[in-house]
Structures are given as C-alpha cells and as structure tokens.
C-alpha cells in the first residue's frame, strides 16, 4: 500500500500542472480585459503615481535627471505628454481649454496605471511565459499578489482556509449524523412508517435550497427571539462564543443539504446488502439482528458511500458560497467569488489550485479506505 500511495502522490504533480495550465488558459480567453474591468468604475487608483513615472521617463528622454530636474522642467515634460495625447485624440493643444487638458492627463494616467498592472501581473507576456513565471513563483510558495488590496494570495488563503475547514467539517459531521443512522434505519424498516418518513426527509433536504433555509432561520430568529447573528467573524481561539454563534447554524444548514443524497444512498446500499446470501446465512446461524446489521451489513454497505463522501469534500471547500455570503463568513468560496467578480486573476488561480489539490488528495484517501473497508480490494 505504501508504494501505491507514493505513486499516487507523484501523479498529483502532472495533474496539478495540467490544472494550472488549463485555468491560466481559460482566464486569458475571457471576453473582457482584466485590467479594463478592474478600472471600469473610473477610479484611477495609483494613477497619479503612474503619471509621475511617465513624466520621469520623459525627462530621461530629454536628457535630464528626474531627481535634480526643476519644477519648470517637470511642467514642460508634463505639457509635452498632454499635448501628444491631445493630438492623438485629434485636438489642437494650442486651442484646448483646461478641462480638455485635464481629461487628457487623466487618460494618460489611466493608461499608464493599466500598463503597470499588466506588467505586474505578467499579462503583457505570452501564455507560456505567463504560466512559467507563475509556476516558478508557486514552487517557492508565492502564489502572487491580489489586484484588489495588494495582499499576497497565500496569506489570504492561510486566513480563509481554517474558516472553510471549520464550516465544512461541521457540515460533514451533521450530514453523517443525519444520513448514516437514518439511512440504515430506513432500510431495516423498509416500507414501514419510519422508512417513508426518512425518505420524505431526504427529499425535503434535497429540495429546499440552502439560501431559503438560511433566510428563514435568520428571519425567525429575529422575529420571535429578537436575536441577530454576529456581523463579524471571529476566530475560535479569540472569541469562541461569537465564532460558534456564527458558524453552527450555517454548518447545520450545510449538513442538512448534504444529508439528502447520502441518506438515500445509504438506504439503497443497505437494502442491497441485506439481500445478500451471507446476511441470510448469518441470520440462519442464529445471530442477533443487531449484530448482523452492525458487524456485517453496515461495513459492506459503506464502501460506495465513501465515494459520495469523498465527492462532497470539495463541495465543502468551494460550494458553501451562498451560506458564507448570507452569514458574512470569510471563507474560501466567498474569496473565489469576489476574485472572479473583480477579475483578480492571481487569486482565482490560487483558489482553483487549492480546490484541485483537495480533490486529488481526497480521491487518494477514498481509494485507500476502499482497501480498509473491503479486504477484497487490493491496491496495486
């Protein structure tokens, strides 16, 4: 088994490389330029500094040192840049008013700011150069710097991953506590009142959207108990009470949503196992019904269930966006959504690589659990 695990870990490398190549390529195919979308609001953040750099370059071209240039020299260089921009727009620099000159200056500052962002992000490079630059930095633990806020992506993920893990683990625990015992009980009491009740519960869990349930919970808590959930997330170690108040309810809602599929699958697998010959043989030997179910049926029924649990793990990392947004939880899913909305490409690539790693690693754990649960499975 150790050799199998090592081989699977080595296979993660080309898989993650392929994912990074695919994500980088897809981002370059988006119909809008990322920098244009970023500054579409018209606010030129850093535009003044970018225009200052343009003036300094002009001074160098004119044979002057920017550090020792006089105010007159800088004004002359600035006027020359504005005049060139006005001519480019088809206007006469000698007859334009101050408002048109200011508009031309703003245009120069905006374009220079965009060029600086493209250079910083490597968007001025071709596809291979851009990916190889990102990959080299990623190997050194640097996932880049986000456009919005200029925070390192790796630092942002370190801050948000524990939040998503807390919410995801709580959701998974709730899902397992609901689905597994109720699914087993539903199969054992097939076609009885308990079975119909559990099946109805599973359908309800699948049918009710999480955002609807979350909204109802918030509204009822406010209306009947005059309670409002915390508006700011706090780390568990800093403020356990506030942390649990904010995370427990969305975790339960997330677990309820995941439990529907798992409950139905548990019931179906248990029904299949209970019809097997070895179960009838165990009962014929006089074993107690509970012993047959717990020692023989449950373990064999859980093999395919592990697969579904493994498939739900990535959903816990990136699929809890609605709940994170409604309750104001700063998790990875919310970070990905905000990054896509802002065309924050370094953050988008970083989060997608994290999700890809979680999926690949979860698949490895699921395969290993197959061999643990079913001795007939051999890893080779």
The pLDDT value given to residue 46: 62
Over 60: is that where the pLDDT of 379 sits?
no
User: What does pLDDT average to over the chain?
Assistant: 81
Closest by CA position to 34, among listed 347, 377, 372: 347
Do residue 86 and residue 192 come from a single domain?
no
The pLDDT value given to residue 133: 82
CATH number, domain of 254, equals 1.10.3720.10
* Residue 329 phi, psi dihedral angles, 5° rounding: -95, 120
Q: pLDDT tens digit string along 186-243?
A: 888 888 888 899 889 888 888 888 888 888 988 888 888 888 888 788 888 888 888 8
Query: CB–CB of 250/180 below 8 Å?
Result: no
Single out the residue in 89, 106, 139 at which a domain terminates.
139
Q: pLDDT tens digit string along 131-171?
A: 888 888 888 888 887 776 678 888 888 888 888 888 888 88
The pLDDT value given to residue 319: 57
Single out the residue in 139, 168, 192 at which a domain terminates.
139
| CA atoms of 368 and 337, how far apart (whole Å) | 33
Number of domains in the chain: 2
Domain-embedded: residue 14:
no
- Greater confidence, 295 or 88? 88
pTM for this structure? 0.73
Instruction: Give the residue ranges of DSSP H helices in the chain.
Output: 2-28, 34-38, 47-61, 71-88, 98-121, 127-139, 153-188, 193-207, 210-224, 240-274, 277-284, 289-291, 298-318, 321-327, 332-341, 345-373
Do residue 261 and residue 323 come from a single domain?
yes
Query: CB–CB of 344/147 below 8 Å?
Result: yes
What Cα–Cα distance (Å) separates residue 302 from each residue in 97, 176, 363, 375? 78, 12, 16, 13
Single out the residue in 105, 139, 173 at which a domain terminates.
139
Half-sphere exposure of 251 (CA within 13 A, CB side): 20
Do residue 171 and residue 125 come from a single domain?
no
| CA atoms of 38 and 148, how far apart (whole Å) | 9
| Percent of the chain's residues with pLDDT above 90 | 1
The pLDDT value given to residue 338: 81
Query: CB–CB of 186/267 below 8 Å?
Result: yes
Q: pLDDT tens digit string along 234-271?
A: 888 888 888 888 889 888 998 888 888 888 888 888 88
| CA atoms of 343 and 335, how far apart (whole Å) | 12
The pLDDT value given to residue 374: 64
The pLDDT value given to residue 91: 80
Range of the domain at 263: 153-373
Q: pLDDT tens digit string along 169-187?
A: 888 899 889 988 898 888 8
The pLDDT value given to residue 328: 84
């Amino acid at each position: 088994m150790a050799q199998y695990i090592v081989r699977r870990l080595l296979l993660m490398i080309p898989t993650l490389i392929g994912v990074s190549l695919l994500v980088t390529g897809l981002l370059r195919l988006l119909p809008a330029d990322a920098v244009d979308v970023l500054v579409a609001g018209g606010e030129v953040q850093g535009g003044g500094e970018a225009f200052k750099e343009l003036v300094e370059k002009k001074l160098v071209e004119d044979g002057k040192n920017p550090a020792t240039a006089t105010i007159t020299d800088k004004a002359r260089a600035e006027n020359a840049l504005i005049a060139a921009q006005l001519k480019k727009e088809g206007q006469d620099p000698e007859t334009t008013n101050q408002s048109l000159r200011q508009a031309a200056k703003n245009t120069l500052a905006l374009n220079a700011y965009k060029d600086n962002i493209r250079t910083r992000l490597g968007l001025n490079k071709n596809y291979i150069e851009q990916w190889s630059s990102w990959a080299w930095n990623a190997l050194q633990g640097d996932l880049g710097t986000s456009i919005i806020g200029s925070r390192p992506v790796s630092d942002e993920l370190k801050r948000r991953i524990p939040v998503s893990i807390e919410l995801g683990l709580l959701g998974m625990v709730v899902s397992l506590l609901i689905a597994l015992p109720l699914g087993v009980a539903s199969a054992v009491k097939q076609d009885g009142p308990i079975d119909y009740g559990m099946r109805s519960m599973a359908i309800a869990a699948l049918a009710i959207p999480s955002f609807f349930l979350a909204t109802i919970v918030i509204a009822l808590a406010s209306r009947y108990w005059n309670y409002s959930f915390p508006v700011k997330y706090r780390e568990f170690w800093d403020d356990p009470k506030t942390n649990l108040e904010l995370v427990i309810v969305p975790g339960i809602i997330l677990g309820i949503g995941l439990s529907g599929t798992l409950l139905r699958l548990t019931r179906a697998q248990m029904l299949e196992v209970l019809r097997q010959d070895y179960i009838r043989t165990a009962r014929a030997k006089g074993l107690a019904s509970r012993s047959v179910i717990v020692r023989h049926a449950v373990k064999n029924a859980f093999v395919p269930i592990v697969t579904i649990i493994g498939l739900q793990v990535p959903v816990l990392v990136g699929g809890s966006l609605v709940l994170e947004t409604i309750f104001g939880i700063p998790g990875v899913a919310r970070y990905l959504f905000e990054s896509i909305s802002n065309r924050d490409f370094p953050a988008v690539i970083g989060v997608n690589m994290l999700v890809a790693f979680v999926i690949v690693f979860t698949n490895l754990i699921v395969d290993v659990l197959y061999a643990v649960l079913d001795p007939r499975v051999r890893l080779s």
